[in-house]
Structure 1
Amino acid sequence: MLRWCLCLLLLASAGWHMHIYNRRMWPNNSDLIQRWVGARAAFAGRDPYSPAVRHEIQTAYAGWDPDAIGRPLTREEAVVRWQSFLYPAPIILILAPFVALPWEYARHLFAGVSVLAFAVGVWMWIRRLIPRNASYRAWLLLLIFAAWPTWWAIRLEQPGLLVAAFLLLAVESIARGRQVAGGILLALATIKPQAAMPILIWYTLWAWHARAIRLAGGFAGALLLMFVLTEHFVPGWLPHWLASLHGYREDNQADLPLVNLCGRIAGTALTAAAAVPVLAVFWKARRAAAASWEAIRAAALALAFAPFLTPTHFTLIYNQILLIGAFLVLLSRDPISPPRSQLRWMAFASLAVSFALVPIAVFLESVLGPHILYDGLPFLLNSLLPIPVLCALVALHSPFLPNDSVPDRFA
């Protein structure tokens, strides 16, 4: 009963804080509208990466175009970043059912579909990894939807929420032996390449050793079909997309997380160093059965490493939804060896603090009144959360630590 009360408190706190934060956001402050406007242009025979469409995107997003406004920008207008299509053009195929709808209907329908798909993917992982009763599993699912990164992804109508659903469902499909479906879902996830890259590396290595022809065929066939259809609607889109990436860092003031934290040289070196144990884990688990403990751990590690490859800044914490698989893996067992146990609890302590910051922000707002400091409080630790999670998950695979037992359901 206590845990349900706690979960409801966290849900209510997140909802109220989002209400407070919404006061600082304009109505079309969304990560979907850029892609929606670009997709409508693409289906009308125009290039979504062109300057003309970019101006349309900026006008739809912010309500003004800096080149056509005809007056100096106000302070509020000046801080709005330039908006572009940016995503690989195959995302227009995902958005095809939504482009004929008015924006207000399209955004809510897309958010509803994304939330439903994400909930199904998370529930599948919970059922596979957590050997508890249905009540405890339902509580876990609700807790995940009480997390601030989940709320933030939903509020921004972030396509990454649907991509996370594709990735979670792909792992579950492959574990169930439905390799063609898994390959198709992995192909759909490539609309956000940096999120899909680590898990594509893992399953490429696994499929090579497992001779998983159906997985490779499903992925290659779906990817080829997406490319051909996209090329039909947006001829020559690939070089246009690659060219558009050059301005992404400047427009969004974003960089790799460890680069933001440690500087260009040290951050790049640390990101490369973090990739070494991740790749070592992939290599060690390459011969494991698709539904085995080792394979699921490797997939969770691939998802957890994705935020390290995604250019970000302080408020782009929705990528942390990819850590869900890692937390479920860590929750599914108690490591016996002290180093693993300590790193596991460090990851859970970081998660607990990230949850606690939301009701703390709500309390401070209620007592002292709204302030930008309290608005940003829930973003504070969430931006660093991937680091202890990755360390704890890598430690589970480390050959330098004593082996722990495999959970009973995987034995």
Structure 2
Amino acid sequence: MKSAPPFIPRELLARMFAAAVEAAQPARCLPPFLPAQPRGRTLVIGAGKASAAMARVVEDHWAGPLEGLVVTRYGHAVPCRHIEIVEAAHPVPDSAGTEAARRMLAMLHDLTPDDLVIGLFSGGGSSLLSLPAEGIALHDKQAINRALLKSGANISEMNCVRRHLSAIKGGRLAAACHPARVLNLLISDVPGDQAADIASGPTTTDHTSCADALDIVRRYGIDLPDAARQLLESGAGETIKSNDGRVSGVETHLIATAQHALAAAAAVAQKAGVRSLVLGDRIEGEAREVGKVMAGIALQTHAHHQPVKPPCVLLSGGETTVTVRGQGRGGRNVEFLLSLAVALNGASGIHAVAGDTDGVDGQEERAGAFIGPDTLARALEYGLRPRHSLENNDGHGFFEALDDALITGPTLTNVNDFRAILVL
């Protein structure tokens, strides 16, 4: 008989998630990337769930004058002295974000080569800094966004469409900064850490095309209004490419990524005497299918000590997708966990946590949830039907009823999803 571990599994998983979030905090990762002060003005712009916290860190470490505007999610604002913070909607854009985008573009007039623009962008910026291209109404952009979110398209595909229907994304904001120097400091929430996909790349160049966006729209059956379709079919929505002279002065740094978060969690596990195996920092696919695959790996590990000997933790990051068919309260992390629990079927010695590092899974103010060997048995005691909850995309309802939700509040960072499966 195995002896009890010198830790409580759920508490260890919670500490690992907390370490992953802490590794991506702007106060920890941003200061080393700040440059010397320019001869001219310093202007700070940005968007994302972490952008207000990032702006505060810039202010705290900047000796000279500066000004600017960043847009963050409602409830994620951090007070700043010189940089204006605007709150807007996520994941579907609203008029507050659109007005902020217009004002941000207007601030960039009359910049000189002696000026410095610091771009602070993180996950969520795609909806927070939304300025539809000419001829496209905000309500049309909102409808397209909702359709993309429900379609099962991955984040790279969604952002490709968003960039080509925008007046500010896809490098257009960087081009508007010309001839000033642009320094991008990015917290990545996208698998593969491609800069063009972080907040849909307002200040970075883009290698995708209108034709690519049209292909995605057709593949997922997204209904476009006439103006949006014409923009893509005519090529008028083309984004800024790397050979555009207006972006020759752009410098970009990834200051926090999913890999940083996974490494921090692995260090916590090691300290507790638990081996760690990182399965990948860019896991994508349907959340419920990823849950089945991860269950298979966990069961192999438990039964045969392959690919690693227990006690161990299987770590992964990335961003899964959910094709919404039910009417429940879902999110990709709780969908993954519910699928994982069903596939594990109460297997002993296997516990897990999954959560979005920004503290919000789907549209719920909860990061994710925990599961253990007793999850299904407790669910049946409460009259819950796990498979039905999964089919109804009701992960949040399921885990809330079990009091197994992971609730952190806004973390003020975002390096995508975090998953840890503890095998004892």
> Shared fold (TM-score greater than 0.5)?
no
Q: Which has the higher strand share?
A: 2
Q: Which has the higher helix share?
A: 1
Task: Calculate the TM-score normalised by the size of structure 2.
Answer: 0.31
Task: Calculate the TM-score normalised by the size of structure 1.
Answer: 0.31
